[in-house]
Amino acid sequence: MPLTSVADRLRESMWRSANDKRLKRLQRVVDAMPENPPETPTSLDATSDAELAGFLAAAGEVAGREVGLDPFPNQYLAAAALLRGLSIELATGEGKTLVGAMAAAGWALEGRHVHVLTANDYLAARDADWMGPLYRGLGLTCAAVQADQDLTARQTAYAADITYSSVAEAGFDLLRDRLAARPGDRTGARREVVLVDEADAVLLDEARVPLVLAADAEPHRDEHALALAAYVRGLEAGRDYVVAPDRRTVHLTDDGLRRVEDDHPDRDLFGTDSEFLVSLNLALHAHAALERDVDYLVADDRVWLVSGSRGRVDRLQRWPDGLQLAVEAKEALDTAPGLQVLDQLVIAELVGGYEKLVGMSATMRAADEELESLYGLQVAVIPSHLPCRRTDHPTRLHATSEHRDAALADLVRDSGKRGRPVLVATQSVRESERIADLLRGLGVDCVLLNARNATEEAAIELTTRTRVFALAASLGAPESLIEHPAIMTHSTRVGGVGGVPGTLLRLAVGLEDANDLIADLDRALAQI
């Protein structure tokens, strides 16, 4: 349906509203836009400013009525920029969810299917549910793809006008579609318009880690890989090999190549045994460039990748081209999980399959040159609705890591005395555990959240996802309540003998229907 007719229809309904103040404000938004109609408008890129403003005013009215969110002027501007094909930088807290929904609705009303890609399943389900009334008010449908859905549920989700999905699920669905032998075994996803949330992190930070679709195979122990892992441990850094400053590549030096040739005189490294040299380089990369507790974790005799941007375990991802096996051999696992790689893709391949790509984030400007060179994206910086009240202190440099850590501890201790919580972000699991040990040694209570203790994090996360159970610091009310004692009522008794484990949750069952409470917990648990 053309945007003009939708806007006209909704505008008629708006004029019957009793909210004259809102109507006058929205009309000013429309009137302020200059008239510049194209001869034959065929898309939003060719739609006149007045027509675009009319649609946004109508969408804003629906958002106010159905979702209880009246867009701010900068949100109208942000949605207009997206609909013009620009990616946007919009500060945290300025309402990217609503902006993305308004833009998605505009594309969908043109008859184009829209995928909104988020960081995880929880955000996909939350945003689809939250913005659902807005879409339905505009005559559109939306749905969310979740990891636990079967094929039928995924086909239903992708049949909606707007589909919310995590990047990982969208990628794996594409891989499965490519391998499906029959049309009925495919999701039916139409890859026309994609809006990527946290686009700089997704398109740049995670772009080099591929999504790998694998099938179970017979577990095995690769003695050849184990032998190579043992051999590269004997090579000397700086003399036999060099690691790039960004730790992305490792290469043998001339001395290193000569040493490998001398140690393997029966190998034709650059001829018939070139595959041996490839395997050796993979073993060297695993040894020198990939760090345990930084790039990956080892648990349950498995190697688990850690997302470089989120610091979380990506249980569905594996390194390709023998690198996974090399890391497993490096860790001398008794049994290497045997998986047969069926297909793989990287983020650039996933988003490159869409007709239109736009993104949004609070930090797009810093990476605008990379985004333009790699994906052809142009970034528009959207001003904040209100002046920023945050105080940005100058960078503090310290001569040694000990001095830096002492300053950090003083800052955390001082903020705690003033009743201000502090989030300390680190670059790795290892660093987070070191800082936590430092603070605890100084008598500062802290909660450690990282990829290694994901269970404790999941317990905290669960308290934010229930809808019937309300979060409460103390129990004892007619409504059903949920709390996390380790960081709320019993924060001084965490761990140790008789201490409160971080995985414990307390529930107080109120007067609500038991089936509603069970369904609430089931829904929240499914999102963890």
In whole angstroms, what is the distance from residue 501 CA to residue 495 CA?
A: 6
* CB of 487 closer than 8 Å to CB of 473: no
Rounded to 5°, the CA angle 312-316-317 comes to 80
pTM: 0.66
Domain layout of the chain by residue ranges: 72-208+348-381, 214-345, 454-526
The pLDDT value recorded for residue 313 is 66
Is residue 43 pLDDT above 70, yes or no? no
Q: Tens digit of pLDDT for each residue in 310-359?
A: 556 666 667 766 888 888 889 887 655 555 677 888 888 899 899 999 99
Is residue 296 pLDDT above 90, yes or no? no
In terms of phi and psi (left: phi > 0; alpha: psi -120 to 50; beta: otherwise), the region of 189 is: beta
Q: Establish how many alpha carbons lie within 13 A of residue 42's alpha carbon, considering only the half-sphere containing its beta carbon.
A: 1
First to last CA, the chain: 38
In whole angstroms, what is the distance from residue 371 CA to residue 385 CA?
A: 26
The pLDDT value recorded for residue 459 is 74
Domain 214-345 maps to which CATH number in 3.40.50.300, 3.40.50.2000, 3.40.190.10, 3.90.1440.10? 3.90.1440.10
Tell me phi and psi for residue 352, to 5 degrees. -70, -15
Is residue 308 pLDDT above 70, yes or no? no
Is residue 195 pLDDT above 50, yes or no? yes
How is domain 72-208+348-381 classified at the architecture level of CATH? 3-Layer(aba) Sandwich (3.40)
Tokens 């490519």 correspond to: 178
Handedness of CA 149, 131, 311, 187 (dihedral sign): positive
Span 382-386, mean pLDDT? 91
Tokens 């005799």 correspond to: 301
99: DSSP letter: H
Span 243-264, mean pLDDT? 88
| 17 CA to centre of own chain | 40
Handedness of CA 268, 274, 276, 280 (dihedral sign): positive
How is domain 454-526 classified at the architecture level of CATH? Alpha-Beta Complex (3.90)
β 114-118/142-144 pair status = unpaired
